[in-house]
Amino acid sequence: MNCEEVLEHLGSCGDCRLHAALEARLLAMPALEPPEGLAGRVMRALPRTVPLGRELARLAAAAALLLGIVGIPFLAGLDRHRAAAEARMQGQQIFESMVSTLNPLRSDLPWKR
Ligand SMILES: [Zn+2]
C-alpha cells in the first residue's frame, strides 16, 4: 500500500483516522521518567510470600544435602568407582541447575541491597 492509497483509506475509514489521531497525540506527549529509586522502593514494599528465615533454612538444607551427595562419596574414596563417579556428575548437574535457578533471586536478598 503506497502513500496515496493510505491517504485514500484514511479518508474513508473512521477507525484508522481515529487510530492515526491517537498515535499522533501519544507521540506529541513528553516522555516521563520514573522517580529515582522507584523500582527498588516498590520491590521492597511487596510482601514476602515466604519468610526470609524459612527461605534461608531451606537453602541451607539444600546445600547440606548437596554436600552430602557430592562430598561424602568423594571423602570415602568411592569416586574411584565408575557408578560413584556418575553419581557425582549428576550431583554437579543438580548443583549447576540450582545455581542457575537461584541466581535471579540473589538481588532479593537483603544484604545485596
Ligand atoms: Zn481502516
Q: 8 CA to middle of ligand 1, Å?
A: 10
Over residues 2-28, the pLDDT tens digits come to 999 999 999 999 999 999 999 999 999
**pTM of the model as a whole:** 0.30
Residue 77: per-residue pLDDT: 75
Residue 74: per-residue pLDDT: 74
83-100: average pLDDT:
88
Q: 76 CA to middle of ligand 1, Å?
A: 76
Distance of CA 51 to the CA centre of its chain: 20
Over residues 53-86, the pLDDT tens digits come to 888 999 999 999 998 888 887 777 766 778 877 8
Q: 26 CA to middle of ligand 1, Å?
A: 19
